[in-house]
Amino acid sequence: TDSGLSANTSYTYTVRARDAAGNLSANSNSVTATTTGGGGGGNKLLGYFVQWGVYARNYHVKNVDTSGSAAKLTHINYAFANTAGGRCTIGDSYADYEKSYSAAESVDGVGDTWDQPVRGNFNQLRKLKKKYPNLKILFSVGGWTWSGGFTQAAANPAAFAESCYQMVEDPRWADVFDGIDIDWEYPNACGLTCDTSGPAAFKNLMQAVRNRFGPNNLVTAAITADGTSGGKIDAADYAGAAQYVDWYNVMTYDFFGAWAAQGPTAPHSPLTSYNGIPIAGFYSDYAIQKLKGKGIPASKLWLGIGFYGRGWTGVTQSAPGGTASGPAPGTYPDAPGVDDYKVLKTKCPATATIAGTAYGHCGNQWWSYDTPSTIGGKMGYSKGQGLGGAFFWELSGDTTNGELITAMKNGLG
């Protein structure tokens, strides 16, 4: 069995025999086989909508419609709910259901009234679903900042699942959501904080969530793409939990970044390996093959795309592997070393590609990010591997006319 191959490609194999003493035979005759096209991959397309986008980013649910993105999406993950005290809790009630929208800001051109029970993003998402009846919306729980409570949740999964059900199915907005997404960063491993709940904790938690939400709600999870030996994929029983999820969003981005302030510069979302990659196995295909190898069906794995780039400053070398002096400045001061695609495409245009993604060197800055062209290649990979679809973080990083989501939609078919 040979995995990770490209579609419509010929591969030639020879074998040699080796005995117990280490003696080798000559090469056998060669055999050539050609892979078929496609791979039966799915065309599901999910985007994250972040609640804080309504503040400095000035990105609202209406923009999902006016950019053309809503017509291309099959699913939206609304991010995030908190996990305080080991329970699902609303993280930002103002953005979620209190902020008032005027007629001009509203999806359907009807403004909010002071006394309506649900305003904010939830009400706008309700209007978006009315306009796009096939669109499914999941409430995403946790994320990098709010995963700390999962440790306590793992001690009583049934109570956690009950709290999540009550939050998602709150009578005020139950019609908005079609399920729940668990974004635990990371079970039995370290993210912003470290979890030591054990390798079975994630499976037990997902089983409890599925039992409470039942078969008619979507239950998904965003999971690590660290496929290194003894890494984050190995730390938790993702294969055992797979039976309880509709799919996994594999976070195949953020492999490298300016947290390594002096470099070496490296693309944050390589699809394949390349000479000089700073950490062996830190690339998307490696993670996908590892998850497949654990027995997770390809149809339950979705490939992740970042609608942003990661960059360094103090860089003189154009090719990856250069030294740096720190993170490049981004649009938002609280996020150095990160910027949106919509900014980078003109601020630091991509000049070359490596490992299926793109990078640019402008002045003393070096940025890596995906472009419509590299996204096309990644969507071809997703189809060829038989994956269920693809997803991206997050909607506000795209151009106002949705360049990146269009490339994803075109690539998935």
User: Rounded to an integer, what distance in angstroms lies between the CA atom of residue 288 and that of residue 271?
Assistant: 10
What does the DSSP assignment read for 109-133? S----TT-S--HHHHHHHHHHHHST
User: Rounded to an integer, what distance in angstroms lies between the CA atom of residue 302 and that of residue 187?
Assistant: 19
What integer pLDDT is reported at residue 405 of this predicted model?
98
CA angle at residue 401 from 397 to 404, to 5 degrees?
Answer: 50
What integer pLDDT is reported at residue 5 of this predicted model?
62
Residues 6 or more apart whose Cβ sits within 8 Å of residue 199: 188, 235, 236, 237
Q: Given the DSSP bridges, would you call strands 179-183 and 352-354 parallel, antiparallel or unpaired?
A: unpaired
CB 173 within 8 A of CB 122: yes
Residue at 303: amino acid letter: L
User: Rounded to an integer, what distance in angstroms lies between the CA atom of residue 282 and that of residue 227?
Assistant: 7
Whether this prediction's pTM lies above 0.85 is answered by yes
Active site residue 403: no
What integer pLDDT is reported at residue 4 of this predicted model?
58
What integer pLDDT is reported at residue 3 of this predicted model?
58
- Which structural domains are found in the chain, ordered by start? 41-307+372-412 (3.20.20.80)
Reduce the DSSP state of residue 389 to 3 states and report it: strand
Catalytic site residue from 98, 169, 185, 403: 185
Reduce the DSSP state of residue 192 to 3 states and report it: coil
What integer pLDDT is reported at residue 32 of this predicted model?
82
Residues 343-368: tens digit of each pLDDT: 999 999 999 999 999 999 999 999 99
Q: Please compute the mean of the pLDDT values over residues 190-209 and round it to a whole number.
A: 98
Residues 107-160: tens digit of each pLDDT: 999 999 999 999 999 999 999 999 999 999 999 999 999 999 999 999 999 999
pLDDT above 70 covers what percent of the chain? 96
Is the pLDDT score of 93 beyond 60? yes
**Which whole-number Å values give the CA distances from 190 to 131, 144, 299, in the listed order?**
41, 10, 28
What integer pLDDT is reported at residue 399 of this predicted model?
98
Is the pLDDT score of 38 beyond 70? no
8 confidence band (pLDDT: 50, 70, 90): low
Q: Given the DSSP bridges, would you call strands 352-354 and 31-34 parallel, antiparallel or unpaired?
A: unpaired
Reduce the DSSP state of residue 93 to 3 states and report it: helix
What integer pLDDT is reported at residue 30 of this predicted model?
87
What integer pLDDT is reported at residue 131 of this predicted model?
98
Residues 6 or more apart whose Cβ sits within 8 Å of residue 3: 289, 292, 293
Query: What count of residues does the chain have?
Result: 413
For the chain, the distance separating the N- and C-terminal CA atoms, rounded to the nearest angstrom, is 28
Question: Could you tell me the sign of the dihedral formed by the alpha carbons of 298, 207, 79, 130, in that order?
Answer: positive
User: Rounded to an integer, what distance in angstroms lies between the CA atom of residue 204 and that of residue 38?
Assistant: 35
261 confidence band (pLDDT: 50, 70, 90): very high
22 confidence band (pLDDT: 50, 70, 90): confident
